[in-house]
Amino acid sequence: MIAVNWHTCFFFLLALVACASAVAVVVTGDIVRMACWLVTALAAVAGLFFLAGADFLGAVQLMVYVGGTMVLLVFGVMLTSRGPFVSMKTGGGQWIMALVVGGALLTILLQAALSVPEWSAPERSQAEAAVPPTATPLGMGLMGIRVDQPEQPNRLLRRGMSGYLLAFEIISVHLVVVLVGAAYLARAKRRIEPERLQLHDLKTSES
Amino acid sequence: MNLLSEPIGLPHYLVVGAILFVCGMICMATKRNVLGVLMGIELVLNGANLNFIAFGSPLLRPAGGGSLGLDGQMIAIFVIVLAAAEAAVALAIALNYYHTHLTVDVDQGNELKG
Domain range annotation of chain A: 1-82, 160-207
pLDDT band at A103 (very low <50, low <70, confident <90, very high): very high
3-state secondary structure at position A122: strand
CB within 8 Å of B51: residues ≥ 6 apart: B13, B14, B17
Tens digits of per-residue pLDDT, B64-110?
666 777 888 889 999 999 998 998 898 888 888 888 887 778 877 77
Chain A hits for B29, Cβ within 8 Å:
94, 97-98, 101-102
Using 50, 70 and 90 to split pLDDT, how confident is the model at A7? Answer: confident
Chosen for mutation from A50, A55, A57 (greatest number of chain B CBs closer than 10 Å) is A57
CB-based contact B30 A90, cutoff 8 Å = yes
What's chain A's average pLDDT? 80
Q: Note the pLDDT of residue A199.
A: 54
Please provide the CATH number assigned to the domain covering A1-82: 1.20.120.1200
| Tens digit of each residue's pLDDT (9 = 90 or more) over B35-73 | 889 999 999 999 999 999 998 888 777 766 667 778 888
User: What whole-number distance in Å separates Cα of residue A142 and Cα of residue B75?
Assistant: 11
Asked if the Cβ–Cβ distance from A191 to B18 is below 8 Å, we say no
* ipTM of the shown complex: 0.89
Q: Closest-CA residue in chain A for B3? A: A8
Going from N- to C-terminal start, the domains of chain B cover: 32-106
Q: How many residues does chain B have?
A: 114
d(CA A183, CA A103): 39
